Structure 1
Amino acid sequence: MNTTNWVSYIPNIIRPINKLIPSKFINFGSEKLLNLLFKEEISSGELNFISGNIIEIKVKDIDLSLFLTLKVNQLKSLKSPVEPDVKLSADGDALLLLIYGKVDPDTLFFNRKLMVKGNTELGLHLKNFLDTIEVNQKLPRTLYLIGDRFSDFIYKEKGETIQTS
């Protein structure tokens, strides 16, 4: 199996595992993790654009959707799917490349690797926020380095198709 096939096969491994995990655990874990990672941004009001809105972040290739809102200075993961004000969707590799700064969101958007539907202004805020995350300051160094190397690997294997298709 060549490397490109191996990278493309990762979602096929994750998707069934994701289906086995009860959504309440995914919601609880994602809520705690996101509040921890973005504590400073929440405190400073940088995420106030989410307040009173529902955003959906969908990782298409593993069939995972998170529905989030901001209430009382806390990101809340909604328990059941609801109609979001904005939906941001992409495959996991595109999101990883975006978050690790390997590809800018506009490139992903114009090449239809990142889709934003719904409230345009809210979608732009969300897309721009994701682009400005300083992952190296958010994650423990070892975890950051693993993700950074993996995103380099993905970029090497898929970067051309992500940027030009």
Structure 2
Amino acid sequence: MKILKVNTAIAISGGGPQMVEKPRAEWSTEDKKKANLENVAKNILYKTLEKNMFSKIKTCSTTKEIWEKLTQPCEGNDQTKENKLTVAIQMFDNAKMKPGETMAEFDERFNNIVCEIIALGKIYINREIALKVMRALPREWDVKTIAMRESKDLNKL
């Protein structure tokens, strides 16, 4: 981060003031805090990255460069996000409880799918999620799902 000041040595006609980098000796306490934010942000990113990701960003000089390098492979461009969302929605639509799978295992797997969809920008209302879970359960659960549909408000379930 560069701390700038107005260049008083050069008079500019017809334009705004020219900015030059302020020497460290002239920095105020506020300037020092601003300059330190860059270091704090880099430190946070460095500490949270896995070793294989760190090797990809070690040549970056600013936090902004680091962030841009990280977001591209992690998030991808708009087309990548759209493809990820399409796959996640298909997983949601095709979700079924597997034979021998416990309700806790199914719930965890299903919640992971829903969380991924939400992270990619699509929101389902509670009723849609509750109905999908009920449809995903095996036939042995039919009596319970029918009872839930009749007795519960699916928007709150």
* Bucket of the pairwise TM-score, normalised by the shorter protein: under 0.3
Q: Which structure would you say has the larger RCO, counting Cα contacts within 8 Å and 6 or more residues apart? A: 1
